[in-house]
Amino acid sequence: MKKVFLSFVFALLSVAGFAQTVWNVDTMHSSVNFNIKHMGISFVQGRFDKFDGKAVTKGNTLDNAELSFNVIVGSINTGVEMRDNHLKSADFFDAEKFPSMTFVTGSVVKEKNNSYIFKGKLTIKDVTKEISVPVTFGGVTKNQKGKEVMGFQASFKVNRLDYNIKYDPTGAGVAKEVDVDLYFEMVKQ
């Protein structure tokens, strides 16, 4: 009987060691933003208002996490309706044909302190490319409802021409590179 009990305890501990935690994006406390140079002299800022995502972790860190994010292209918002409609058109994102952009991690590498590199596949329109995204982990705490939340942010550049966003290919009016800034708060499920 003692052997059966010890086997059960070891099996339970083994399963607990591999337990996974699921975190979902809290869209009220997260944002997907971009910034692009215009006419070589100024910048246009914008965001996507609709997105979702989840992380699967082993515990309360990003070590070896699996992440997936989805952004609804039609939710683009630069504060100018005419420009937003143009960005949704075939000249840019072709939102009707390609309604979402996605990022899925292939690996997460811990750097020093609270820094990580998310390596994964970014899909925009009909193109999927491997990218590396530097991430700063903010940590874990409890929100006002007592639920555990995790925060992190990422900043990186994307060459829009690599993803068949070919309007103004010279980059004279609309720059080729887009600065992307992500701020995520995720709630433990």
Tell the burial category of 35 from Cβ atoms under 10 Å away from its Cβ (0-12, 13-18, 19+): middle
- Return the residue matching tokens 């100018």: 80
pTM of the complete model? 0.87
**pLDDT in the model for residue 33:** 98
Q: pLDDT tens, 85-113?
A: 999 999 999 999 999 999 999 999 999 99
Q: Which DSSP symbol is given to 166?
A: -
Question: Residues in the chain with pLDDT < 70?
Answer: 1-18
Predicted confidence at residue 114, as pLDDT, reads 92
Supply angle C-alpha 141, 147, 148, rounded to 5. 35
Contact 158, 180 (CB under 8 A): yes
Residue closest to 152 by CA, chosen among 133, 131, 175: 133
Distance CA 66, CA 49 (A): 23
Structural domains of the chain, with CATH? 19-188 (2.40.128.110)
Distance CA 70, CA 73 (A): 9
